[in-house]
Amino acid sequence: MSVGIITVTPGSPADRAGILPGERIVSIDHEPVLDEIDYQALTARRSFTVVIAGSNGSREIHIVKKEYEAFGLCLDEREAMKPRHCRNRCIFCFVDQLPQGMRETLYVKDDDWRLSLMMGNYVTLTNIDDREFERILARKASPLYISVHATDPAVRSRMLNNPNAAGLLSRLNRLKQEGLEFHCQVVLCPGVNDGKILQHTLEDLAMLWPAARSVAIVPVGLTSHRKGLCPLKGFDSIGAAEVLDLLHSFQRRFLRELGTRFVFPSDEFYCKCGRPLPTDIEYEDYPQIENGVGMLRQLEQECLLAAEDLPDPGTALRRHRKLLIPTGISAQPFIRAIADRYAPAGTEVEVIAVRNRFFGDSITVTGLIVGQDLIHTLEGMEGDEILICDTMLRENTDRFLDDTTLEEVHRRLSKPIRIVRNQGESLIRALWGMEENDG
């Protein structure tokens, strides 16, 4: 068992040891190197013995380096970090709710603890055996991001359609015993894991603090493509308000007992029932921002900070222009308030709530708006420029989830399109027609 070496950093300890691209790393201090996790953990030492396999056989090399000096190898991630597939059949799985005919990669379900450690992906821990779990402990993989959903073994097993889901609490306790930390996620399904089940889950997870750092509560997302799937319902405004009442009561208690609010509802709950968002300080440094928890409030704070560097309104160029900002139905009132507050004189801004015809009306978040729906909503509207949040595009591509390209949308709408990073300064600069600040 070994991993291929793509490049060797010139002047690095690996380079000085004569290790070459194309060779393979077999072991470090007699421990096998399976992937990037092993490599990073084992080469953090000041001295170690590495076994390298090449065209002339294997050789053993003793390495001595500075404490924080990188060893200098770039491994072949295509083989070493090939994502591990999910073995669950979650009743709420979003991938199962995708329409047919999309790109094959969109239907791939990963559930890989290594990606949880390196990228913050949420994992269930149901597809690892005891030996692999011991590797997690040995490598001090912390923090992890764990999809809990329910601590009741029967409820969790039913939600994930996997009997291996029942043993989560024992593993979480072991992580705590070994000094590892983790953040938790609960996808809340009305009538399934809410109410008393949710209360029980929060009680269990609070017992794991401070190893358990935070818990995000997000509402189940249901598309219109659920034929043959488990019957589920989403949250209406009344249900969302009831969840917030419950979670706020837990927050007050946890703040007294733990010194942290610990549990954080996603922005969608507030948007669904029209309640004001918590203040900046109540998000406690935004530990669950990637889960949509505090994203709108953080955007507002970033806009407030960026606005301090804007030109004096009296000296700003007052040219008339009209901007179109398409956004999800949930965030539309919030984005409109920001645009009204920060747009310069002479700039008219229309913030348009885009109905999600592709996934269904119950999907109201900006990041799931597709190209077809943008075209359908904006075609024929008057405006000088369209501002599109980068969360609508697949990462590092110019494609929306429906495979429509940015060029196709531009061609159909016949207007300049500016991609705006999901960050306050980027939005402020776009409103003022300023160039993006790469720094």
Q: Is residue 392 part of a domain?
A: yes
Helices and strands (H, E) in the chain, number of each type: 15, 14
Cα(221)–Cα(27) distance, integer angstroms: 44
For residue 162, pLDDT over 60 is answered with: yes
Q: What is the mean pLDDT of the segment spanning 5-34?
A: 95
Residues 255, 107 share a domain = yes
- E runs forming strands in 14-143: 24-28, 31-32, 47-54, 57-64, 73-75
Q: Is residue 437 part of a domain?
A: no
Q: Dihedral (C-alpha) 126, 132, 135, 137: value to the nearest 10 degrees?
A: 30
Residues 203, 127 share a domain = yes
Cα(201)–Cα(262) distance, integer angstroms: 13
Amino acid at 226: R
Packing angle of the helix pair 332-342, 295-306 (nearest 10 deg): 10
Tell me, what's the pLDDT at 411?
95
Residues 317, 288 share a domain = no
Tell me, what's the pLDDT at 103?
77
Q: Is residue 87 part of a domain?
A: no
Cα(180)–Cα(116) distance, integer angstroms: 13
Q: Is residue 268 part of a domain?
A: yes
Residues 149, 283 share a domain = yes
| Domain boundaries, position 315 | 302-431
Q: What is the mean pLDDT of the segment spanning 72-81?
A: 84
Q: What is the pLDDT of residues 333-387, one digit of tens each?
A: 999 999 999 999 889 999 999 999 999 999 999 999 999 999 999 999 999 999 9
The DSSP call for residue 84 is P
Q: Among 80, 112, 141, give the residue marking a domain's end.
A: 80
Q: Show Cβ contacts of residue 191 under 8 Å, excluding neighbours closer than 6 positions.
A: 233
Structurally, the chain folds into a number of domains equal to 3
CATH assignment of the domain containing 119: 3.80.30.10
Residues 13, 155 share a domain = no
> Residue 189 is inside which H or E element, if any?
none
The DSSP call for residue 368 is G
pLDDT band for 124, please (50, 70, 90 cuts): very high
Q: What is the mean pLDDT of the segment spanning 19-48?
A: 94
Handedness of CA 42, 44, 48, 50 (dihedral sign): positive
Residues 160, 24 share a domain = no
Contacts 24+ apart (CB under 8 A), 309-317: 310/342, 310/344, 310/428, 310/432, 311/432, 313/344, 313/345, 316/344, 316/345, 316/432
For residue 314, pLDDT over 80 is answered with: no
Residues 376, 331 share a domain = yes
Cα(109)–Cα(89) distance, integer angstroms: 10
Q: Is residue 344 part of a domain?
A: yes
> Residue 130 is inside which H or E element, if any?
helix 130-138
Q: Which of 11-20, 75-84, 259-268 has the lowest mean pLDDT?
A: 75-84
Residues 219, 319 share a domain = no
Rounded mean pLDDT of the chain? 93
Residues 109, 210 share a domain = yes
Residues 379, 314 share a domain = yes
